[in-house]
Structure 1
Amino acid sequence: MRGASAWAPLLLAAAAQLTLQEPTERPVFTCGGNFIGESGFIGSEGFPGLYPPNSKCTWKITVPEGKVAVLNFQSIDLESDNLCRYDFVDVYSGHANGQRIGRFCGTFRPGALVSSSNKMMVQMISDANTAGNGFMAAFSASEPNEKGDRYCGGRLETPGSFKTPNWPDRDYPIGVTCVWHIVAPEDQLIELKFEKFDLERDNYCRYDHMTVFNGGEINDANRIGRYCGDSPPAPIVSETNELLIQFLSDLSLTADGFIGHYKFRPKKLPATTAPPITTTPPVSTGLKPTVALCQRKCIRTGTLESSYCSSNFVLAGTVITTVARGGSLHATISIINIYKEGNLAIQQAGKSMSTKVIVVCKHCPLLKRGLNYIITGQVDEDGRGKIMPNSFVTLFKTKNQKLLNALETKQC
């Protein structure tokens, strides 16, 4: 964590814009407020000192009519968590009931964030524990049709396409965050395909990546997939009339980017409303075999030793989210330790790692939020863990650690 002197250049720059009478005077940041004008600065309470615990601060920004609000984070230092569950900053397009553009925590500084109107809201929430120096951000007004290469995203209500900044002339810039909110008529779904796709490659898509969510919010429970590399995602069909696409580039390598095309189509019968990514279990080629599989009595077979070599992945982790979808359960696992990884897609934020798994029969085996488990299973072509009724899953206890460490060195 930095000392206050390290922030002096940023504070002086802010002071120079905020007051002409005394350019060396440090601005004082308070908890929230209303900010009206062409440009200015906002910051967490007491920045660059530690922000207080158990706080909720809201900043409402209004730039002149006919323009859009643009926010650039100069600095961010909040408690790090892969899901930003504890201390975080939310940025919204508009003031009341606005679309959330993004949620941020840790020390990663996103690129320029653009509102769809002349209003923007920033909200910071902290819990009772770890604190940091907080954040400081500059806001400004921009012409809606002259956003420049660094700006992207927006609300899309008619069929069309979207692309990364600079496409197709050159690579996308570093430090960019783009959020596209696609909204179809209420009685229709959204079909999304990517013509070209090329982002920085990483096995876990920790750096430059695109994430697609069902609905209109960045909500990990509704995440369809996270993508990077140079292989276009399979065609995606929304579960409702809304999709949210978030693109993020970090501060290092870049690539060509992507262009996506979307169209609207009528809702179909339940038999065709499966999740838009390939999540069908390998043992099931249709609905009836899966139903029959899940009607069997749920009895765990085998042992951890016998399951180790036959499984693609073996890990110990905490269940942090569970969402029932049809007859299956989609869960997010915060990883305690991973003993066999295979091609499992793992997301990393700081020192925290998590992964997504699908329990094909949602009650077998039963996963409960907040509990620690040893989980074994297979991995589908999207890198998502698949847990079948015969997969070995048990509560994780300290006494299991010695056996797991021994299995980690086992030659299969």
Structure 2
Amino acid sequence: MIQQNPNVSAVTAPTWTLTPSPLCGGIFRNPQGSFSSPRYPAQYPANLVCVWWIVAELGSVIQFKIDSLNIEGQSPCHFDRLDLHEEAGDGLHSHQIARLCGNSAPPTVNTNTSRLKVSFVSDPSVGGRGFTARYWIIASSDKSCAWDEFLCDDGLCLFTSFNCNNFYDCLDRTDEVNCAYHHHDCGGILTALEGSLATPKYPEQYPHRQVCVWHISVPQGHIIQLLFHNFSLEAAADCRYDFVEVHDRASSSPSSFMGRYCGDSLPPTLTSPRHEMLVLFVADEGESDLGFFATYHSVNRSEVTCSPHEFSCINGQCEAMQWVCDGWNDCSDGSDEMNCSGVTHLPYETDCEKVEVEMCQGLSYNETSFPNIWLGIPDQRSAISTLKDYKLLTELVCYENLRLLTCSIFVPKCIRDGGVVPPCQSLCQSAEKQCQHSLESLGIMWPFNCNLFPDSDDPIECVRP
């Protein structure tokens, strides 16, 4: 039997010749979802066999996207591997789509069947961080690719580097059509310690219909600083038309996102905490502008110095002082949350307001106060949006007072004589102890720093059951 994950429905699974691990695997039938290798982003265990099935109704297909990939080995993947198989509706016949390992995530996959089997196997030797992936169940007529990919062959997605490369990568040959728009001086792999990048034809107006991808990679032990000198792109409130997007690793996954920029304002200097950076430029068919010119340089991590107004993480990363000891790991090594047991918060004098966040109603308190001084959340509407990222946590049934703990952090209790009350340390520690196993089985770390909260059970000082 395979381990059933939350939001997973039970159906009859095809026979798997190896014994699946209790740490992973499941059968998904929800319209969309996500999963990852065990312990991600920490190293996955050895000797794993994980099998996930994504099952749609007959007539529907599955769109599958791997956001990050770090699996031991290179093609043909003799050691650890991630296999994708399309299966017939009865689960008796399958077709292998891909076998994956290494560090390069593939483009989006659109299946031609209503079932997708995802198998992850690790051997007894060295491992990696694993993978994270998302899926959507869609109509067969709705097949699409990511905005930085090319769609052909009724569902095949290609990296844009295969578009207009004078070779037919698509069976329908559409990847070599309308190539007059394509500029080969756009994007590329930059490995020098310093360099520059610019929009096509800069300083003239950039052409329409552009997707440029620069992958900057410098030696290990260095970080990358990106500086924009000139910047002028079509403006939009959410940068939906023409934009530059920067990521702090080689993939354009949500977890690596550093910022999206458009308009005439220079973006800030961007520093990647690691030795890789991805810069994407997208232009649609509408208005055009003068584009941008930017330079980058690498800095030895040991030479990185933060400003007097910033906190220096152990790994050299710089973070604003306001994020230190706020209960969240803003440094990728977690050093901003170390030795925080002596931290106290001054009361914030403001008017109390009725709790409007639905999941936080009916608790031991019914009034809150914003802005949330611990997390920098301006109002309850923003709190609702932030809590969506913690949906999996709030749905766990490992601890009866988990909802109270979560709400007292995001939507804190307000007291009439001024200020808000944090959760008690004992409440946080009890939740961490009882939920640790459930979170580990999903490859998720406990998100709160319990040492931040008052070591007291006095209801005047902190919230308790």
Q: The TM-score by the shorter chain falls in which range?
A: 0.3 to 0.5
What TM-score do you get using the length of structure 1 for normalisation?
0.43
Which is greater in Rg? 2
* Structure having the larger proportion of residues in helix: 2
